[in-house]
């Protein structure tokens, strides 16, 4: 609570390798020299979990790690609080390497620097909502009054006021995950780790929880690491997205980067299905010129997504709009035509990318 | 072809000497360490005598009320309390009150000792696969070895009386306590344990906040089993001087008194049912949070 202003802490993952098996250390060098996952598995019966992961997660941002099952995303997030030990590499948080901490330091680090939300909620079934929520603070040894004060605030904040004395199995999945979120937030750690936190929820509740998280993030500005297998979710939440495949990062950047410039066919095949109107920003399609002649007085702010811009323009019944910066200075013009073109997935997308 | 039809056995002389050596060795051990071991069990004897004194010297109406009260606190169920009171009154009316109290004292102390010793062993077992590999065969022996066999060395060491009887009861009754504690802790949801770790729990906090509470239904089943097995041991323990309902049963076997055996046998059954229902109801009540399910 003392460092309210300095929320979040950057996380740097450097050259991280994870090999599962009897003697992982023996094979790191071979993997570094380029041994494939298949070869490692077939010849030496070891599984390559992560290969040469380098991600720089800036403080106060939502970093999404996306990948399908088996891509190593859950393994990766467990390296940040070292629920899994790496085979090689560094995880630097606040200038110290999590991988080199001794048991005591690690415990203190987990208590004060990180909080985690789990896919299967992982609530204590014998404790009420309130008693689950205080868990992190109880472990830290705070007085019960302080624990409850914090916990009640967050329970209310996630919309569970009135359910303090219920047991987890009296709640629906969505509500249980709110408890999971409240438990993590009550810990007031600068880093929030969310392992497929919303994957077990049905689509409407999931959208709802995403909004809760985005709302909260505006206020708490923590470093959130969010794991998901859902690109729409990744694009909605992520300030930055890293895409994992077979234990390797295949692309990282903003959502827009990924949608506009997918690094390979694997990613393009995902991106094809995405609602581009919700990802691409007006800046991408705006053309130079003040457009004073035909913009008809409609302005949209820089960073607005296409879908919203289209709504503003149709509401005003205009074919053009001026893109302005925060202070209202015009930056360029967009036309409805360009806008619709950008929103419809180009059919040539795949071939176009391949040609580049 | 002689060896084919009769099993080639050890030389009679050698075998006799082996047994003799073992017997004499153990007798020597008894002579030199018997007193030490006896004084080691002194507190147990004190505990046992106090429990028995309390059970037998308290006037019967107070005892009935007390047991009914405990049954109520544990089960919150009028039917169980009524059953308990009726059983106790019948036992008293058929002139088995003081024997029944001695038996209950014995079971109580035996169960407490089993819990106090068994749960920590079960916890260590759950944490160490090596320890589990060592303890499991020992438990197998304890459960399958005919009780008379381990009564022999116990009696040689400690003589006839309450404490050897108690030890016999505990040896017989403790394995389910240990096994089910171990099993319960091993079955705790890995996801919840991971969450406890992620919040920085120490291993004691993990045990206290997660493992024990989540293993509690299984541990309670272990306590229930321990009580039942302790009761089953009552008759055998009476052979080495443990007083209570077992002694009339033993007498009736020797003298072929059918009704005496039947009444005392039924009294044991009655006590067993009381203990079982009350402890199970208590276990269920601890798991209240599992009954109310989101619909």
**Quick one: pLDDT band at residue A179, thresholds 50, 70, 90?**
very high
pLDDT value at B258 more than 50 = yes
Rounded to the nearest 5 percent, the helix, strand and coil shares of chain B are 85, 0, 15
pLDDT at A255: 87
Q: What is the CATH number of domain A276-343?
A: 3.10.580.10
ipTM above 0.90 for this complex: no
pLDDT at A289: 66
Enter the pTM of the model: 0.82
Q: In what order do the strands lie in the sheet with A299-301?
A: A299-301, A320-324, A330-335
Chain B: give the shortest CA distance to residue A144, in Å: 15
Distances (CA, A) of A279 to A68, A232, A256, A331, B81: 21, 9, 6, 20, 67
pLDDT at A345: 66
A residues 98..117 contacting B (CB < 8 A): 107-112, 114-116
Cα distance between residue B251 and residue B267, in whole Å:
15
pLDDT value at A170 more than 70 = yes
> Do A246 and A238 contact (CB within 8 A), yes or no?
no
Q: Does A27 touch chain B (CB under 8 A)?
A: no
Percentage of chain A beyond pLDDT 70 is: 92
Average pLDDT for residues A182-193, to the nearest whole number? 92
Contacts of B194 in chain A (CB under 8 A): 83, 118, 122
Cα distance between residue A165 and residue A182, in whole Å:
14
Average pLDDT for residues B244-252, to the nearest whole number? 91
> Do A192 and A222 contact (CB within 8 A), yes or no?
yes
A residues 55..74 contacting B (CB < 8 A): none
Domains of chain B: 40-287 (1.10.3720.10)
- To the nearest whole number, what is the mean pLDDT of chain B? 90
Map out the domains of chain A as residue ranges: 11-113+189-271, 276-343
**Quick one: pLDDT band at residue A290, thresholds 50, 70, 90?**
low
Taking an 8 Å cut-off on Cβ atoms, the answer to whether A110 and B200 are in contact is yes
Q: Does B289 touch chain A (CB under 8 A)?
A: yes
Q: Does A89 touch chain B (CB under 8 A)?
A: no
pLDDT at B9: 85
Cα distance between residue B174 and residue B164, in whole Å:
15
* Fold classified for A11-113+189-271: Rossmann fold (3.40.50)
Contacts of B283 in chain A (CB under 8 A): none
């Amino acid at each position: 609570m003392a460092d309210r202003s300095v929320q979040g802490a950057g996380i740097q993952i450097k050259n991280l390798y994870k090999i599962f098996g009897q003697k992982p250390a023996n094979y790191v060098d071979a993997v570094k020299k380029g041994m494939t996952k298949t070869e490692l598995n077939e010849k030496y019966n070891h599984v390559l979990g992560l290969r040469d992961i380098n991600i720089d997660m800036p403080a106060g941002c939502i970093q999404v790690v996306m990948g399908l099952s088996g891509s190593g995303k859950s393994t990766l997030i467990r390296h940040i609080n070292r629920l899994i030990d790496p085979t090689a590499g560094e995880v630097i948080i606040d200038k110290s390497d999590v991988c080199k901490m001794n048991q005591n330091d690690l415990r203190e680090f987990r208590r004060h620097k990180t909080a985690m939300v789990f896919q299967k909620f992982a609530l204590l079934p014998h404790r009420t909502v309130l008693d689950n929520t205080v868990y992190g603070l109880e472990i830290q040894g705070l007085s019960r009054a302080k624990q409850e004060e914090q916990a009640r605030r967050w329970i209310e904040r996630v919309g569970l006021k009135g359910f303090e004395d219920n047991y987890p199995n009296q709640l629906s999945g969505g509500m249980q995950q709110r408890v999971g979120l409240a438990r993590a937030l009550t810990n007031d750690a600068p880093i929030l780790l969310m392992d497929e936190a919303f994957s077990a929820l049905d689509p409407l509740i999931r959208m709802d929880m995403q909004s809760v998280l985005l709302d909260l993030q505006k206020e708490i500005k923590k470093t959130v690491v969010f794991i998901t297998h859902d690109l729409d979710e990744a694009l909605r939440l992520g300030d930055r997205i890293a895409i994992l495949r077979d234990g390797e990062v295949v692309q990282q950047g903003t959502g827009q980067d990924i949608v506009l410039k997918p690094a390979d066919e694997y990613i393009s095949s995902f991106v094809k299905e995405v609602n581009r109107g919700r990802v691409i920003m007006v800046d991408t399609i705006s053309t130079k010129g003040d457009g004073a002649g035909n913009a008809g007085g409609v302005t949209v702010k820089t960073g607005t997504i296409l879908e919203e811009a289209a709504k503003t323009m149709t509401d005003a019944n205009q074919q053009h709009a001026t893109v302005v910066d925060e202070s209202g200075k015009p930056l360029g013009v967009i036309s409805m035509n360009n806008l619709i073109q950008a929103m419809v997935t180009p059919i040539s997308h795949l071939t176009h990318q391949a040609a580049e | 072809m002689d060896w084919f039809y009769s099993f080639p056995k050890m030389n009679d002389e050698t075998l006799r000497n082996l047994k003799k050596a073992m017997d004499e060795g153990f007798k020597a051990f008894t002579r030199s360490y018997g007193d030490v071991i006896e004084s080691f069990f002194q507190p147990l004897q004190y505990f046992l005598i106090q429990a028995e004194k309390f059970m037998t010297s308290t006037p019967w109406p107070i005892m009935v009320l007390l047991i009914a009260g405990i049954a109520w606190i544990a089960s919150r169920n009028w039917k169980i309390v009524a059953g308990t009171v009726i059983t106790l009154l019948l036992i008293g009316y058929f002139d088995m009150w003081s024997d029944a109290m001695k038996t209950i004292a014995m079971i109580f102390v035996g169960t407490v000792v089993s819990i106090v010793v068994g749960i920590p062993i079960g916890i260590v077992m759950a944490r160490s696969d090596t320890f589990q590999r060592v303890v499991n065969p020992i438990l197998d022996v304890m459960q399958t070895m005919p009780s008379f066999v381990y009564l022999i060395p116990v009696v040689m060491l400690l003589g006839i009386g309450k404490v050897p009887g108690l030890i016999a009861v505990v040896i017989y009754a403790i394995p389910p306590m240990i096994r089910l504690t171990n099993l319960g802790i091993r079955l705790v949801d890995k996801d919840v344990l991971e969450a406890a770790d992620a919040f920085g729990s120490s291993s004691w906090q993990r045990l206290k906040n997660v493992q024990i509470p989540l293993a509690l239904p299984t541990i309670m089943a272990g306590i229930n089993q321990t009580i039942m097995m302790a009761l089953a041991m009552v008759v055998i323990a009476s052979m080495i001087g443990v007083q209570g309902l077992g002694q009339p049963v033993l007498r009736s076997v020797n003298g072929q008194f059918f009704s005496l055996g039947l009444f005392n046998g039924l009294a044991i059954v009655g006590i067993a049912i009381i203990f079982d229902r009350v402890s199970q109801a208590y276990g269920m009540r601890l798991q209240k949070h599992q009954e109310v399910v989101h619909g």
